């Protein structure tokens, strides 16, 4: 392999959107059309560079048949000039982060941990891995093994197995083994740990100021468990960890002094991960287009720095979404060649890195192009994706994860309804209204109901009070905002916070009214369970650990249906909290392990 070919083997771009027909020197659209089928320009792109792999996203994988054709076409384009097939990857963690549009979604890590059943984690991980493999995807960017220590974490939250390092470690090992037993690569993320951040690395560069002993006690155990379980790949985190690497530098873009981000830190990625922990597998960055990197570094420079740090694969190294931008990749390759020639990057590091990648491909049979006819591949995929058996497993896990932390003995669940009952549902996200309606239809609700959204800066007013007055039963679907959490880094809830998805004063007003009228009311935490702490006087409170709207006729997550089933008495809640829930003063309101059964 030439040096240029070795560098390309270390690149894993995305091909999410593509604007066809942009003239040389032109500018790609900010939001180009989704790539669901390939085109001649993409074909040229994949023939020109001998990439090591490609990452796919939900917009590429909305339809199983189309997704399989796309993967097949990508591999065939690559094979024209590259003897080594692409390693196709995606994020199919389960729950809030899923890409396979018609796949089995499962309720997510925190929900699975709430069941207390490691067998469920293994089952879910195995099914998702089998589905990915059946559509031609060899790398599962999961599990997320971050320990969600910080209730204010805006990006991990319910993607984590919880805030207990021991429990997270056990679930991590079960997940990793199950994925790899299906012949799919498992990738533990995000090293050295993204669970104690208060900034989303998609929109900024987080700083974690904990000591080395704290890190070893809280964040490190799941990564050690993953390595012990034989994990083949570990993903980096775009975060500053000054007590792991105190190196400071002036940001080339902002001019501010920052600590070396973990993704670009040789101390963290080489000395600690490989030297101290003994990890011999492949490392891959989190997406290099995230603000945690691009706000501070130019794309070409960032790739040079991460390869200098010893990371194996640059994920989404530089944007390419139309023909004129294809040469962006050449800029990256030329820069790395220069760094090798001037001794900044050792040739041995490049060789060792490529050997790790090729060894991984050999282990999973990715050194030879799968020449199975595409129609046969489609038949295999359709036979394995979203089967009746996998959906039954998904439902069982989701039902058992529902966690009832408080239940009023008189007005609590299960709701006692009649055909004359009027169940009024308030939900924090507008797109969930149709999902609630579909759930009621699927559950054969034999009573009157209505669904109203309070997303945005909605003030409680007489119209909403009239709904409460008319109700015989009330469900308040609460959800912390994903971008502006209302809990401070110290675990104290900010009572004045307003988020992008809802204001706390609305559910507060509805709850007060329902309590004053002594009406059955359930506070249903739709996502991260920490918002329960804002309403300690809620007569009945339940956590489901995640919800996504119905898309293309498919439930994005099974959790909401399971929660409503429990409220109506169709199923029984069995889950236990995998995290501690603080009240508004930072005092623990509900201990880890809390969970009522009926």
Whether residue 372 is found in the same domain as residue 449: no
Residue 31 counted as domain residue: no
Residues in contact with 523: Cβ distance below 8 Å, sequence separation at least 6, in sequence order: 476, 478, 507, 511, 532, 535, 538, 540, 541, 542
Catalytic entry in 72, 146, 196, 286: 286
In this structure, are 238 and 343 located in the same domain?
Answer: yes
Looking at the structure of the chain, the number of domains it has is 2
DSSP-assigned letters across all residues of 274-334: IIIT---SEEEPSPTTSHHHHTTS-HHHHHHHHHHTT-SBEES-S---SGGGTHHHHHHHH
- Asked whether residue 357 falls in the same domain as residue 418, the answer is no
* In-domain check, residue 385: no
**What pLDDT is attached to residue 498?**
40
d(C-alpha 51, C-alpha 39), whole Å:
18
Are 372 and 444 contained in the same domain?
Answer: no
Strand pairing class (581-582; 588-590) = antiparallel
In a domain, 124, yes or no: yes
Phi, psi (rounded to 5 degrees) for 442: -65, -30
Closest CA to 110 of 498, 582, 488, 557: 557
Backbone region of residue 162 per phi and psi (left: phi > 0; alpha: psi in -120 to 50; beta: other values): left
Q: In the annotation, is 473 catalytic? A: no
Residues 205 and 347 placed together within one structural domain of the fold: yes
| Whole-Å CA distances, 198 to 236, 488, 508 | 17, 8, 25
* Domain CATH number, residue 230: 3.20.20.300
Provide CB contacts within 8 A for 496, sequence distance 6+: none
194 is catalytic: no
Apex 467 CA angle, 461 and 470, nearest 5:
140
Whether 220 and 284 map to the same domain: the answer is: yes
Angle between helices 559-567 and 388-401 (to 10 degrees): 60
Give the Cα separation of 29 and 59 in Å (integer): 17
Please tell me whether residues 468 and 515 are part of one structural domain: yes
Taking the C-alpha atoms of residue 587 and residue 437, their distance in angstroms, rounded to an integer, is 37
Domain-terminating residue out of 360, 377, 394: 377
For residue 388, being part of any structural domain is answered with no
Residues 83 and 224 in one domain: yes
423 and 349 both lie in a single domain: no
* Strands 139-140 vs 185-191: parallel, antiparallel or unpaired: parallel
450 and 354 fall within a common domain: no
CA distances to 87, 243, 257, 323, 405 from 11, rounded to whole Å, are 10, 30, 29, 18, 46
Give the Cβ contact number of residue 554 at 10 Å: 14
Task: For residue 579, give its domain range.
Answer: 402-590
What gap in Å lies between CA 131 and CA 384, rounded to an integer?
Answer: 6
Please say which residue of 377, 411, 427 terminates a domain. Answer: 377
3 state SS of 189: strand
Q: Does residue 3 sit within a domain?
A: no
How many other C-beta atoms are found inside a 10 Å radius of the C-beta of residue 431? 15
275 part of a folded domain: yes
Per-residue model confidence as pLDDT tens for the chain (598 residues): 999 999 999 999 999 999 999 999 999 999 999 999 999 999 999 999 999 999 999 999 999 999 999 999 999 999 999 999 999 999 999 999 999 999 999 999 999 999 999 999 999 999 999 999 999 999 999 999 999 999 888 889 999 999 999 999 999 999 999 999 999 999 999 999 999 987 777 878 999 999 999 999 999 999 999 999 999 999 999 999 999 999 999 999 999 999 999 999 999 999 999 999 999 999 999 999 998 999 999 999 999 999 999 999 999 999 999 999 999 999 999 999 999 999 999 999 999 999 999 999 999 999 999 999 999 999 999 999 999 999 999 999 999 999 999 999 999 999 999 999 999 999 988 999 999 999 999 999 999 999 999 887 788 899 999 999 999 999 999 987 533 334 444 444 444 444 444 456 889 999 999 999 999 999 999 999 998 998 999 999 999 999 999 987 889 999 999 999 999 999 999 999 999 999 888 899 999 999 999 9
| Cβ 109 vs Cβ 397: under 8 Å | no
Picking from 377, 412, 441, the residue at the C-terminal end of a domain is: 377
pLDDT at residue 503 in the model: 55
Residues 357, 440: one domain?
no
Q: Does any domain span residue 5?
A: no
Joined together, the tokens standing for residue 536 give 């300690």
Statement to judge: residues 128 and 228 lie in one domain: yes
Of 34, 202, 494, 512, the active-site residue reads 202
CATH value at residue 495: 3.40.50.1700
Do you find a cis peptide bond into 18, omega within 30 degrees of 0?
Answer: no
User: Is residue 392 in a domain?
Assistant: no
């Amino acid at each position: 392999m030439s040096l240029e070919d070795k560098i390309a083997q270390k690149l894993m771009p995305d091909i999410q959107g593509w604007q066809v027909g942009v003239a040389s020197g032109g500018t790609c659209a900010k939001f180009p059309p989704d790539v669901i089928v390939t085109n001649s320009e993409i074909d040229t792109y994949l023939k020109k560079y001998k990439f090591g792999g490609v990452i796919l996203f939900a917009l590429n994988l909305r339809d199983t048949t189309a997704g399989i054709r796309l993967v097949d076409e990508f591999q065939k384009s690559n094979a024209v000039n590259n003897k080594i097939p692409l390693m196709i990857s995606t994020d199919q963690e389960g729950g809030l982060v899923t890409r396979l549009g018609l796949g089995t979604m499962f309720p997510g890590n925190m929900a699975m941990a709430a069941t207390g059943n490691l067998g469920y984690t293994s089952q879910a991980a195995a099914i998702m891995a089998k589905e990915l493999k059946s559509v031609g995807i060899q790398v599962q960017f999961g599990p997320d093994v971050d320990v969600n220590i910080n209730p204010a974490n805006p990006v991990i939250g319910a993607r984590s197995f919880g805030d207990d390092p021991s429990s997270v470690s056990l679930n991590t090992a079960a997940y990793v083994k199950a994925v790899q037993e299906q012949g799919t690569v498992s990738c533990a993320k995000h090293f050295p740990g993204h669970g104690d951040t208060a900034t989303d690395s998609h929109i900024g560069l987080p700083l974690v100021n904990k000591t080395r002993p704290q890190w070893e006690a809280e964040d490190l155990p799941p990564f050690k468990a993953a390595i012990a379980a034989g994990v083949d790949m570990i993903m980096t985190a775009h975060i500053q960890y000054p007590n792991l690497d105190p190196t400071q530098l002036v940001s080339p873009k902002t001019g501010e002094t920052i600590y070396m981000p973990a993704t670009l830190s040789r101390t963290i990625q080489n000395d600690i991960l490989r030297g101290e922990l003994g990890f011999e597998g492949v490392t891959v960055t989190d997406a290099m287009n995230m603000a945690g990197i691009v706000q501070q570094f130019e794309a070409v420079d960032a790739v040079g720095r991460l390869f200098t740090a010893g990371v194996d694969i640059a994920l989404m190294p530089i944007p390419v979404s139309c023909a004129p931008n294809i040469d962006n990749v050449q800029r990256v390759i030329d820069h790395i060649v220069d760094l090798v020639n001037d001794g900044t990057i050792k040739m041995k590091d490049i060789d060792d890195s490529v050997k790790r990648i090729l060894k991984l491909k050999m282990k999973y049979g990715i050194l030879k192009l799968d020449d199975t006819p595409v129609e046969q591949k489609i038949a295999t995929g359709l036979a394995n994706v979203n089967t009746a058996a996998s959906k039954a497993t998904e439902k069982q896990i989701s039902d058992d994860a529902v966690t009832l932390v408080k239940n009023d003995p008189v007005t609590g669940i299960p709701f006692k309804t009649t055909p004359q009952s009027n169940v009024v549902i308030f939900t924090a996200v507008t797109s969930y209204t149709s999902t609630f309606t579909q759930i009621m239809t699927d559950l054969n609700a034999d009573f009157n109901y209505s669904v109203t959204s309070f997303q945005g800066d909605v003030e409680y007013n007489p119209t909403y009070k009239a709904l409460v007055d008319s109700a015989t039963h009330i469900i308040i679907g609460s959800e912390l905002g994903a971008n502006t959490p209302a809990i401070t880094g110290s675990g104290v809830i900010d009572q004045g916070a307003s988020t992008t998805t809802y204001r706390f004063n609305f559910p507060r007003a509805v709850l007060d009214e329902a309590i004053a009228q002594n009406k059955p009311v359930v506070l249903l935490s739709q996502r991260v369970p920490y918002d329960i702490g804002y309403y300690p006087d809620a007569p009945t409170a339940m956590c489901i650990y995640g919800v996504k709207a119905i898309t293309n006729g498919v439930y994005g997550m099974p959790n909401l249906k399971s929660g409503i089933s429990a409220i109506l008495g169709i199923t029984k809640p069995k889950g236990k909290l995998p995290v501690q829930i603080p009240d508004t003063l930072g005092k623990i309101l509900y201990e880890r392990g809390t969970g009522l059964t009926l």
